[in-house]
Structure 1
Amino acid sequence: MSGGVDSSVAAFLMKEKGYECIGATMKLFQNEDVVVCREHTCCSLDDVEDARSVARALEMPYYVFNFSDRFKEEVMEKFVCSYENACTPNPCIDCNRYLKFEKLFQRAKELSYDYVVTGHYAQIEYNEETGRYLLKKSVDLSKDQSYVLYSLTQDQLAHVQFPLGGMHKTEAREIAETQGFINARKHDSQDICFVVNGKYSDFIEQYRGKTYPEGDFVDLEGNVLGRHKGIIRYTIGQRKGLGLALKESMYVVAVDPVKNQVILGRNEDLFSRELIANDVNLISVDHIEGEMRVKAKVRYRHEEQWATVTQPEPDKIRVVFDEPQRAITCGQAVVLYDGDVVVGGATIIETEIAKRYS
């Protein structure tokens, strides 16, 4: 229970079905000063009190589990290392993978509970023909979170429930209002929970206890255009915040951590068709045989596009899009879809842009 409306309604729906439930919130930080009370984040002290209030209203036991060591190791450290190595991470995917559906999953088993239930907008079905559990998009496509859940395994899918997957967000808020939940009108969390002021570069410097050296902005021919303020401040596709007076709009097309350079180009220089990804997790199939036609998305807000995927190695996939896509970025996840079914996903490690310009 994050303290938000979605997990609260999920708890209510499970109670309505007759399940014996306990509420659980994950404590993710040793230093409470990392998190402040803000409307658009989760996991603050106020969120804990909101979750506790709802659990009390539902007559559920409520616990706070301290997973801060694991969170620091698998989410915060990975987040910082990614930016230091010119990658762009998705910490929500890592939190789901290593905290919600690993540590919390393990704790549920230790307490002899059958399911981990969250307020995610996605659906789980069992395919009797293949004997596999399927992860599917939410009915409310505007809230669909299947992208950040692609790492779920078959064992986890068998012991996870998403009660909100078959409804729209407006319905969830109506239920919360009807039940008088304290968080019925609470804003959705949008920011990275451990980035206090919304500036991830400030968090990275505070976390490492250092500043990152300035270097050169260069164009595709290697001409120096100005000075950047440290490579951790720049991501592929970025145009704003460069601090340069240029004759035309230019975008970050690559970051070279070895040379400490940020390479700029035009918008058309950001487009490419191919990527390689590793750390593969497949859901609807055991492996990809030959070429498979899918729709794929390369970041959470990316509109999925037609592509062909192959699996040259057990833990590696190659995705070739029918049409060039903008700003494919190392560190992000590529997630594959067959209609509304998640085929699987992986972490992008090679892109045409990175090879072309670095």
Structure 2
Amino acid sequence: MSGGVDSAVAAARAVDAGHEVVGVHLALSRMPGTLRTGSRGCCTIEDSMDAQRAANKLDIPYYVWDFSERFKADVVDDFIAEYSAGRTPNPCMRCNERIKFAALLEKAIALGFDAVCTGHYATITVDEAGNRELHRASAWAKDQSYVLGVLTAEQLAHAYFPLGDTPSKDLVRAEAERRGLSVAQKPDSHDICFIPDGDTRGWLAERVGTATGEVLDRSGAVVGSHEGAHAFTVGQRRGLRLGTPADDGKPRFVLEVRPKENTVIVGPKEALAIGEIAGVRYTWAGLAPVDATTPFACDVQIRAHADPVPAVARLDGDEFVVVPDIPLDGVAPGQTAVVYLGTRVLGQFTIDRTVSAVPVPA
């Protein structure tokens, strides 16, 4: 129970369904903030108190479990390491993968619980053979299946998402009001939970340091300088402070980050078009295809709120390779690609390499 309206209503529905429910709030920071600022941040003391009030209203036991050390190692330190390597990580994916459905689930199973129930908007179905499948929520505008794409078949067997069939968040808030839950109108959390002020560049600078480097165009010409490559991500336009304008006068965007050389490569917007993505760190959300080495049609989604794009996927040796029907825009290594078959989440991989759809001019 995060202290938000979704997990509170999910817990209430689990109680209504006849389950023996225990509310658990995860303490993910050794020094949590006391109060939230609107929709920024989470895991504050206020959030813990909101979760407890909801548990009291539902008359269920409530505990706070300290996962701060593992969260720091598996999510925060990973975030720093990925940016330092020139990649753009998704900490919400890592949290679901390594904390909520790994560390939390492991402890829950050890204590005799059957499943972890959360307020995510996604659904789980069971096929004729009894195999579980992860599917999109009924309301695509609120669908959160993308951030759950890291779940494995074993984890899906112990997951429960009571909100998946709810058509809108407004209905969840109205239900919370009817149930007398004080979090009914509480704002949703946004941004990275451990960077509540939203200043990712400043946060990284404090932990990685700064070092002056060059900004290059695709021909290798120096067009500016920066104070640390880790502060940039593919597709970025703002904050480049380039001293040399483009020949065509158009804005330039970050195309690549090279941390070893401490350089940033920029170019025109059209150069952000990506014709192929691939990665070796992949998992299947349920049953894997019988022969994934044979190219198959699918949809690929590269951000939580991006539209799915028709594509062809295959396993090529150790790599999961996806070729979209139309180029993807501004893909960065480190992002997660989630592959769908219709509404079903087939699997995911961390993007290691991209192939531009626009060749570098000679």
2:37 aligned residue? 38
Higher helix content, 1 or 2: 1
Give 1:142-291 correspondences, 5 Å limit. 142-167=141-166, 168-206=168-206, 208=207, 211-244=209-242, 246=245, 247-287=249-289, 288-291=292-295
1:127 aligns with 2:127: yes
Amino acid at match of 1:345: Q
Equivalent-residue separation in structure 1 for 2:358 and 2:72 (angstroms)? 31
Amino acid at match of 1:87: R
- Helix, strand or coil at the partner of 1:72: helix
Contact 2:271 2:357 in 1 (8 A): no
Could you tell me which runs of 5 or more consecutive residues in structure 1 were left unpaired when the two chains were aligned. none
1:321 aligned residue? 324
- Helix, strand or coil at the partner of 2:350: strand
Equivalent-residue separation in structure 2 for 1:286 and 1:337 (angstroms)? 12
Contact 1:284 1:341 in 2 (8 A): no
Work out the percentage of aligned pairs sharing the same amino acid. Answer: 37
1:307 aligns with 2:306: no
2:62 aligned residue? 62
Amino acid at match of 2:297: R
- Helix, strand or coil at the partner of 2:300: strand
Equivalent-residue separation in structure 1 for 2:48 and 2:57 (angstroms)? 14
1:349 aligned residue? 352
TM-score by length of 1: 0.94
1:335 aligned residue? 338
Amino acid at match of 2:223: L
Equivalent-residue separation in structure 1 for 2:356 and 2:325 (angstroms)? 17
Amino acid at match of 1:73: A
Contact 1:36 1:196 in 2 (8 A): no
* Residue 283 of structure 1: how far off its partner (Å): 2.3
Equivalent-residue separation in structure 2 for 1:262 and 1:344 (angstroms)? 31
Contact 1:253 1:353 in 2 (8 A): no
- Helix, strand or coil at the partner of 2:87: coil
* Residue 324 of structure 1: how far off its partner (Å): 1.4
Contact 2:32 2:43 in 1 (8 A): no
- Helix, strand or coil at the partner of 1:243: coil
* Residue 205 of structure 1: how far off its partner (Å): 2.9
> Which stretch shows the higher mean deviation, 276-285 or 333-342?
276-285
Give 1:98-109 correspondences, 5 Å limit. 98-109=98-109
* Residue 120 of structure 1: how far off its partner (Å): 0.1
> Which stretch shows the higher mean deviation, 103-112 or 332-341?
103-112
- 1:135-192 Cα deviation digits (max 9, x unpaired): 0000111111111111111121111110000002111111101112111001111111
- 1:206-240 Cα deviation digits (max 9, x unpaired): 3x2x5220211111111111111211211101111
TM-score by length of 2: 0.93
* Residue 36 of structure 1: how far off its partner (Å): 5.5
Contact 2:29 2:43 in 1 (8 A): no
Equivalent-residue separation in structure 1 for 2:135 and 2:171 (angstroms)? 19
* Residue 299 of structure 1: how far off its partner (Å): 1.8
Contact 2:336 2:349 in 1 (8 A): yes
* Residue 308 of structure 1: how far off its partner (Å): 0.7
Amino acid at match of 1:182: S
Query: Does the C-alpha gap of structure 1 residues 78 and 235 become closer, same or farther in structure 2, counting only changes over 3 Å?
Result: same
Contact 2:276 2:356 in 1 (8 A): no
1:294 aligned residue? 298
* Residue 73 of structure 1: how far off its partner (Å): 0.9
Contact 1:90 1:332 in 2 (8 A): yes
Amino acid at match of 1:221: S
Could you tell me which runs of 5 or more consecutive residues in structure 2 were left unpaired when the two chains were aligned. none
Equivalent-residue separation in structure 2 for 1:320 and 1:345 (angstroms)? 14
* Residue 354 of structure 1: how far off its partner (Å): 11
* Residue 256 of structure 1: how far off its partner (Å): 1.3
Amino acid at match of 2:38: E
- Helix, strand or coil at the partner of 1:197: coil
Equivalent-residue separation in structure 1 for 2:316 and 2:141 (angstroms)? 34
- Helix, strand or coil at the partner of 2:48: helix
Equivalent-residue separation in structure 2 for 1:68 and 1:112 (angstroms)? 23
* RMSD of aligned Cα (Å): 1.8
